[in-house]
Structures are given as structure tokens and as C-alpha cells.
Structure 1
């Protein structure tokens, strides 16, 4: 019950300021705003209820699942098996990420169907999956995070000179949407589980950084898609 109260408080703190601001703007800027305000309030209530249920699901389902998978797989199989599972799990979680689907629909709409939303979702998910594998390899091999991030962003800026101009902002947005409420908790929990088994003296620092790498993957993947479309 205490967890439900904490989640309800978090949802109210997150939604209420925005809702109040929007209602004030509607009252000040629009004529006869009452129907619009009423519709907005109904939407806010539904969003708040849905967000609360989602956060409860994350805490009781997604986070424990990620930690269990991350801690059990290294003990039950080879490192290669762990890396393969990390890739498929990263792909699956990203496909289920609501932010990714919203972005894909917007790109499909703006491009008049030229860039299909299914293609965007697939490439973004592939980027996360591949870089989840790289993140797991980093933990196992003890590669410094700074080396990987510098190398990845150098590759990003090199690729940006070869893709169509309109694909560059789309690529960076693709990296941003993977840091959503579905992907991030699972990836971080997975990292904590893996480092609890494989981590050494730097296990605390190794638990973090997976999200940073996972968000670079979609940028590179969508830029490669831009090269194909070019």
C-alpha cells in the first residue's frame, strides 16, 4: 500500500503542474474554453491513472525481471549466450517502447509513408539490441566507458556527413526516444543484475552506462538507414 501511495504522489507531482499550466493558458487564450478544458481534464485523469498502473507494473514486474535475468544468465550459460540474450531482450523491449512508436508514426506521417514506421521501429530496436550486446561485452572485458562513448560519437559525426540532411535530426531523436519509461528501467535493472555476478571492484560504475550506449545505437542505426535511402 505504501508503494501505491508513493507512486500516486509521483504521478501527481509529475502531471499536476503541467495540467494546471495548460488549463490556465486555455482559459486565457481561447474563447469559450470550457468544453476544451473539460475534455483536457478527462484526458489528464485517464493519463494519470494509466501512468500510475504502468509505474506499478515497472516496479513489481520489469525491474525484478531485469535483475533476475541479468544475474541468472551468467551463472547458467556462457558469456556468448548472455550477449545473444541481451541483444534480443534489447530489441524486444525497444519494440514495446511507446516513445519509439510515437516517433515512428510521426516520421511516417511527415514523410507521407516514404519512411515506413515499421522500418523505423525495426532499425531503432536493432540499434538498441546490438549496443546492448556491446554494453555486456564492456562489462565482461572491463573496457572503459569513455573509450566506447568517444568512439561511438566520432562514428556518429562521421556518418552524419554521408546521410541526407533531414535524417540527422531524426537519428538523434531516435536515440532520445529509447530513454523512455519501458526501456530504461529494464536496461538498468539488467545491468545491475549482470554486474552483481560479473562485476569486480568497479561493479558500481559498471552498473551504469548501459543506457548511454543503448541510446547511441539507434542514432547510428537510423543514420545507416539514411545512407540506404540516399
Structure 2
């Protein structure tokens, strides 16, 4: 019974976090649109499944993956050779991003939209392959981003050197072209950084900055997430313009 108490608290916390969006949907569905779902029991069952699933996901991450990842990140940051540290950063970024549910959802929707587009015909088998390619391509980009973030901390380079040029290039591309992959790239870059890998990235950045005397954990340890979000966007755009006819 004692072991169930933290789970019950996590369940209540998840319900509290879900309450605003549930209330918003209910109000607009009933009062504004005046249309109620045809299968309210099925809808209720789905909401309960989401509530339980999110609770178990977050609780499971807190009990297993987060402590292991934080311990590894701290140990590598304090005692690891730069070469091993860079390899660990890539592996951490790649592995945690492949497991991101948000990225999987965006990749699947992007692939479905591409298949539905008459300018991008594809079969169902190609759809499945394309979804996997998008996920692993973005994960590869995020692995490179963590390597870049670690190298920035080691060298003490200002974060602004990476943020302004990177987002400047994306803004320029968005202003000059109506290519359909620009919006996809922006969403993929954002979805690549979510519940699973953000705590691990922060642990790596803060742990590394704290272990270096000439670095400040607050100034140098943060910024890893913005680089991790930016790099997959740039790589996806580059791949789209190079590999897809007409961009």
C-alpha cells in the first residue's frame, strides 16, 4: 500500500495537468459547437487510458531512466575523456530521441501528409519506411547537436554564436521559399526535444559545466536544448532540398 501512494499522487498530478485542456475541449464542444461525441463512453475510456498511460510513463521515467541517465551524465562529465564524452553525448542524444513519443507522432503525421500529397506519391510500405527514416534522421541530428553542445561548453563559446546564425538561416529559408518541408522541419525540431531527453540533456550540460572550474553551471550548462532543437531542423531542411525534387 505504501508503494501505491506515490503512484496515486502522480495520477492526481497528471489529472491536474490535463484538467485545463479537458475543460477547454468540453466547453467548446458543448457550448460553442453544440455537438457532443457519438460514443461518450468510448471517449471517457480513452481519456482514462491517456491519464493512466501518461502517469505510468512519467513515473517509470522518474524511477528508472532519469536516475540512470543523470548518473551516467554526471560521471562522464566529471571523469570522462573528451573523446568518450563526445561519443557519450551522441549516443545519449540519438538513443533518447528515438524513444521520444512526440517525435514518433510528428514523424508519422508528416509521412502520412507526404503520401496524401499528389506531388509526393508513395505506397503504404514507403510510408512506414519514411516514418522510420524521419525519426532516425532527426535522432542522428540531435546526437550531433549534443556533441556540438558539449564542445561549446568545453571551449567556452557563447551560445549566441549558434542560436542567431541557425535561426537566421531558418528564417531566411522560410521567407524565400514556400517549400512544404520548411514547416515540417520546424515541428520535427521542436518535437525532438521532449519529456525523455530534455532532463538527460540538462543533466549532461550542467554536470559538465559544474565539473570545469572556468565554467558557470547557470551560464554554460544551459542552452543544450535550444541547440538540440535547432540542429535537426537545419539537417532536415538540407536533406529535403538535396534529396527531394523541388524541395
- SS of 2:237's equivalent? helix
How far apart in 1 are the matches of 2:137 and 2:171?
19
Matched residue, 1:154: 168
1:89 and 2:103 equivalent? no
User: Using a 3 Å threshold, how does the CA distance of structure 1 residues 100 and 34 change in structure 2: closer, same or farther?
Assistant: closer
Length, aligned pairs only: 229
| Correspondence for 1:57 | 60
CA deviations 1:165-205 (Å, max 9, x no partner) are 10111111111111321221222222233233236451222
C-alpha separation in 1, matches of 2:6 and 2:206: 21
Alignment of 1:16 onto 2:19: yes
The equivalent of 2:188 in structure 1 is 174
- Return 41-50 or 70-79, whichever deviates more: 70-79
Once the two structures are superposed, residues 30-49 of structure 1 have per-residue CA deviations (whole angstroms, 9 ceiling, x without a partner) of 66x46522222111111111
Deviation string 1:51-89 (CA, Å, 9 cap, x unpaired) is 111111222223222221112124443111111111121
The DSSP-based 3-state class of the residue aligned with 1:153 is helix
SS at the partner of 1:50?
helix
1:104 shift after superposition: 1.1
Q: 4+ residue runs of structure 1 moved beyond 6 angstroms? A: 161-164
**Of 186, 210, 222, the match for 1:196:** 210
Are residues 158 and 81 of structure 1, via their aligned partners in 2, closer, same or farther at CA, if it must alter by over 3 Å?
Answer: farther
- For the residue of structure 2 that corresponds to 1:111, the secondary structure is helix
Deviations 1:86-115 (A, max 9, x none): 112101111111111111111111111477
In the alignment, structure 1 segments of 5+ residues that lack a partner are: none
Q: How much has 1:117 moved relative to structure 2?
A: 1.0
1:15-164 correspondence to structure 2 within 5 Å:
15-28=18-31, 29=33, 33=36, 35-112=38-115, 113=122, 116-158=130-172
Query: Displacement of 1:127 after TM fit?
Result: 1.3
Residues 7, 52 of structure 1: 8 Å contact kept: yes
Would the alpha carbon gap of residues 24 and 163 (structure 1) be closer, same or farther in structure 2, given more than 3 Å must change?
Answer: closer
- Give the structure 1 partner of residue 224 of structure 2: 210
Shift of residue 145, structure 1, vs aligned partner: 0.9
Query: Given the two structures, how large is their TM-score scaled by the length of structure 1?
Result: 0.87
Between 1 and 2, higher relative CO (CA 8 Å, sep ≥ 6) is seen in 1
Change (3 A) 1:124 1:88: same
1:192-229 per-residue CA deviation (whole Å, 9 max, x = no partner) reads: 33233236451222221111110001101110121121
Instruction: Out of 20-29 and 91-100, give the one that drifted further.
Output: 20-29
Return the match for 2:10 from 7, 11, 17.
7
- Range that drifts further, 202-211 or 152-161: 152-161
Cα distance between partner residues in 2 of 1:150 and 1:25: 39
